[in-house]
Amino acid sequence: MLRKADMWNNRRVSVIFPTYNEKESIREAIEDFFATGYVDEIIVVNNNAREGTDREVGKTRAIQVFERKQGYGYAIRRGFEEATSDLIVLCEPDGTFEAADILKLLVYSDSFDAVWGTRTNIALIEQGANMGMFMRCGNVAAAKVMQNLYNTSRLTDVGCTYKLFKKEVIEKIKDKFNVGSQHFGPELMLLTILNGFSFVEIPVNYYKRVGKSSVTGHKSKTFILAIKMLNLIMVYFFRNLFVRKRKK
């Protein structure tokens, strides 16, 4: 039985689910998040999703919107436009994340503007999850590049979708988004950092995906995505360095 959403310390909570190939798992993901009792609304962004996905979403209380521009970034950016709550949570509806972990993000949201999950804690990676040594080391390495270049708090994962942002963070940075594809996550992190918002990274459970990912299910595509992420991190760094020098 679904619990009535209690809000979180007088703040409403929205969850954004971008969907492309999650027909088999999306309904359960929606129901699991509502069942936590902390979620006021779920925005499903149908990004030219597999046939029948819209019908699965229609069996739930989630709000479904359609984003025709193909890409992970475009889908999440559309979700930001639709979300009405004070706290906005991003997640994947593919079975890889645990709805109950939203409580971890909410607890830390009392002290930080943004809370980011990390899937790289070995103790929380289920057998069969797509977080082998190549994926794990790649995410940690890219995160450490970001951490050291921007002199931030500890970072170990640049690819984890499970994140929370206060509404004011998104309102401040949304006009600066440029990326529409799979490497949107690092841009979201970088803009949060460069605009002076506080954040913390926390470990979340990571499970085997229901079905196959259109990107991380292929090693070649994963490698290309990693290069794009690293390139984005470097571009933002040198652009910010140039801007600071001009201001002096």
Q: What is the tens place of the pLDDT at every residue in 117-158? A: 999 999 999 999 999 998 999 999 999 999 999 999 999 999
CATH number of the domain to which 60 belongs = 3.90.550.10
pLDDT at 217 over 70: no
DSSP-assigned states of every residue in 178-246: ---STTHHHHHHHHHHHTT--EEEEE--B---SS--SSTTSHHHHHHHHHHHHHHHHHHHHHHHHHHHH
pLDDT of residue 1: 40
Flag whether 28 is in a domain: yes
pLDDT value at residue 242: 75
Mean per-residue pLDDT over the chain, rounded: 93
Residue 2 has pLDDT above 50, yes or no: no
Percent of the chain residues past pLDDT 70, beyond the cut: 93
Q: pLDDT tens digits for 56-107? A: 999 999 999 999 999 999 999 999 999 999 999 999 999 999 999 999 999 9
Record the pTM.
Answer: 0.92
pLDDT tens for each residue of 154-210: 999 999 999 999 999 999 999 999 999 999 999 999 999 999 999 999 999 999 999
Domain residues for 213?
A: 13-247
Rounded CA separation 20/17 (Å): 10
Residue 190 lies in a domain: yes
Domain count, the chain: 1
Does 1 fall in a domain? no
221 pLDDT above the threshold of 90: no
Is there a domain that residue 136 lies in?
Answer: yes
In a domain, 124, yes or no: yes
DSSP codes joined into one string, 149-196: HHT-S----SS---EEEEHHHHHHHGGG----STTHHHHHHHHHHHTT
Domain assignment present for residue 5? The answer is: no
How far apart (Å, rounded) are the C-alpha atoms in residues 163 and 139?
16
Give me the percent of the chain exceeding a pLDDT of 90. 86
Residues 6+ apart with CB under 8 A from 152: 146, 193, 199
Is 86 part of any domain? Answer: yes
pLDDT bucket at 245, cuts 50 / 70 / 90? low
pLDDT > 80? residue 214:
no
Asked whether residue 238 is assigned to any structural domain, the reply reads yes
